[in-house]
Amino acid sequence: MERREHLDRFYELLGEFEGGLGGRRMLGECHGRMGWPRRGVYFFFEPGEFREDGKTPRVVRVGTHGLKEGSKSTLWGRLRQHRGSIGGGLAGGGNHRGSVFRLHVGTAILRRESQEAQYPTWGVGSSASRAERAHEYPIEKLVSEHIRSMPFLWLDVDDEPGPYSMRGYIERNAIGLLSNYSTIDTPKALDPPSTDWLGHHCQNEKVRGSGLWNSNHTNEGYESDFLITLEGHIKLMQAQ
């Protein structure tokens, strides 16, 4: 089977477990008491982004969490980082230094609005002072608004973190399958992003070149057998 057929099968599989989840959710409507599995893989869509048929929503980010051995992170904990803060002094904001997804969306907003010079600390360092975070707050709010509007699905894959994690295997192969890296502006691109996709403005070249809000694994290709693994985990989740 060629990549187009693999893509079609991938979206068929997503459709199979979407119904069991009760449809896609929006992060803006989620909280930690919604029965999340301990560990998993998530798939984000984005308003205005469709496959080439013009009606099937296109996956724009694939992710998981805590792949390093000994990690205690959870699926909801990672999603909460992407969602940003609800209350507190900087309510509606977030911390892009703890979420590369937020980082990418933020650089795209800044470049689109030609505001990079006004926010020179964005993406700098692994921590920030209170003053820096207060200054970055307007952009963090815009990032939260954008990500919270993006529907997503999640797959229960409760394996231990480590170099042979099945979550990591599914994540990197799904990214490799979906990525249009090196073909983005050619006839070889499959399900390319729309001309208005925010990611075209992202500072990260891998995001712009792949059509995904991912930078890791976008140029690594994929193993077609991962679709069998994906189907197996879907069936396991449906049987629960």
174, 226 in Cβ contact below 8 A? yes
Q: Give the model confidence (pLDDT) of 85-101 as tens digits.
A: 998 889 999 999 999 99
CA distance 77 to 71: 12
How many percent of the chain have pLDDT more than 90?
A: 92
CA distance 76 to 65: 9
Q: Which tokens is 28 given?
A: 């803006």
DSSP state of 50: B
Q: Amino acid identity of 114?
A: S
Structure confidence at residue 32 (pLDDT): 94
CA distance 24 to 206: 26
Structure confidence at residue 121 (pLDDT): 97
Q: Given a cut of 70, is residue 24 above it in pLDDT?
A: yes
181 three-state secondary structure: coil
Q: Given a cut of 90, is residue 54 above it in pLDDT?
A: yes
Instruction: Write out the H or E segment, with its range, that includes residue 40.
Output: strand 40-44
Q: Give the model confidence (pLDDT) of 130-169 as tens digits.
A: 999 999 999 999 999 999 999 999 999 999 999 899 999 9
DSSP state of 98: G
| Mean local confidence (pLDDT), 38-56 | 97
The rounded mean pLDDT for the chain is 95
- The count of other CB atoms within 10 Å of the CB of residue 185 is 10
Structure confidence at residue 19 (pLDDT): 86
pLDDT band at 1 (very low <50, low <70, confident <90, very high): low
pTM: predicted TM-score of the whole model, two decimal places: 0.96
∠ Cα 172 177 181 (to 5°) = 95
CA distance 231 to 220: 22
Length in residues, the chain: 240
175, 64 in Cβ contact below 8 A? no
